[in-house]
Structure 1
Amino acid sequence: MSQPMISLQPEPAAGHPPQATAHLLPCRVHHNGSVEPVQSFWEPKAGEDGTSTAYFRGRKLQGKAIKLPDGYRGVVAAISASASESPLGRPEEAGVVDLEAETPPRGTLQAQAEFDEMVIWGHEVAVDASADPYMRGAQEWIALAEKIHAYSAPDSKGK
């Protein structure tokens, strides 16, 4: 059996990754690092209708939480330091695939946190499940994964 192209490992020192909530924001932040204390930048308020409201850099955002189905888990992962020799270890080349390479790139990701729900945010209004590409993508991906990993029931006629 061949080795996986990407391996997901738990954080060695922590054991089980902490529980978190993933937030998908409709913006790009040109910063990749710590922003402590987070409360000075981000403090969503839950509404009675199941949505959340937050203000980020003066812009009003409305969020809607969606739970992952039973049997699924979300993972926040980072490229491990030990994978620095593989193309996955260089962020500027992550996701770039050399189609002419003899062997596909392999690497290791470290689980930083796990989540069982994510909040998808929209500008001014809550996202519409039928129109939002991220919400539709998550739902369609789960449906596709269930189809390709499902086994058909044996035919009762013996065919």
Structure 2
Amino acid sequence: MSPPILTLGGPSPSSPSTPPKATPHLLPCRVHHNGSIEPIQPFWQPEKQPDGTSTSYFRGRKLHGTPLPLPSGYRGVVAAAILPPSKDAAEVQEGVIDLEDPNCGKPAQGRLDVQAEFDEVVMWGHEVAVTTDGGPAGDGGYVRGMEEWVALAGEIHSYPNPDGSGK
């Protein structure tokens, strides 16, 4: 079996041994910025409701958040890519194969370092809460997509019984 192209590792040596807990938020909008916005408090202040949902305002629009727990057996992580150093263009000669290099012809192996862990995702909807059944209270497309992806991944990574009767 060939080695993986990416491996998932623990926190980096400079970070604590147990990654902090985080909660990812899936917002129904597109923000054309990918940098830091510290401090975040003036822009994002979700309030927990007694029924477990959340409400917040983003750019004047009222949003309703529904927590969606991860399926059992799954672990949510926020990871940062640590890619291997690339070879200089001067070092790489096209068409030349070094028979003494044990990694010759193999893809470079990178690493994903865990920065934080989560056990739920908050799905946000405009003016109405996102429902898990995709009913009239909101678009459950992401919820259905996650559930279907988990079911498909389970089928892909399962092995049939020797008698041919499925899993």
TM over 0.5, shorter chain: yes
2:117 to 94, 114, 117: 114
Identity %: 57
Partner of 2:128: 125
Partner of 2:91: none
Q: In structure 1, how many angstroms separate the alpha carbons of the residues matched to 2:25 and 2:44?
A: 11
Structure having the larger proportion of residues in helix: 1
* 1:1-159 equivalences in 2 (<5 Å): 1-12=1-12, 13-14=14-15, 15-80=17-82, 82-83=83-84, 85=86, 106-129=109-132, 130=134, 131-152=139-160, 155=163
Q: In structure 2, how many angstroms separate the alpha carbons of the residues matched to 1:103 and 1:122?
A: 45
Which residues of structure 2 form unaligned runs of 5+? 88-104
Q: In structure 2, how many angstroms separate the alpha carbons of the residues matched to 1:112 and 1:26?
A: 25
Count of aligned pairs between the two proteins: 141
Q: In structure 2, how many angstroms separate the alpha carbons of the residues matched to 1:9 and 1:50?
A: 33
Q: Secondary structure at the match of 1:147?
A: helix
Bigger radius of gyration among the two: 2
1:55 Cα deviation from its structure 2 partner: 0.6
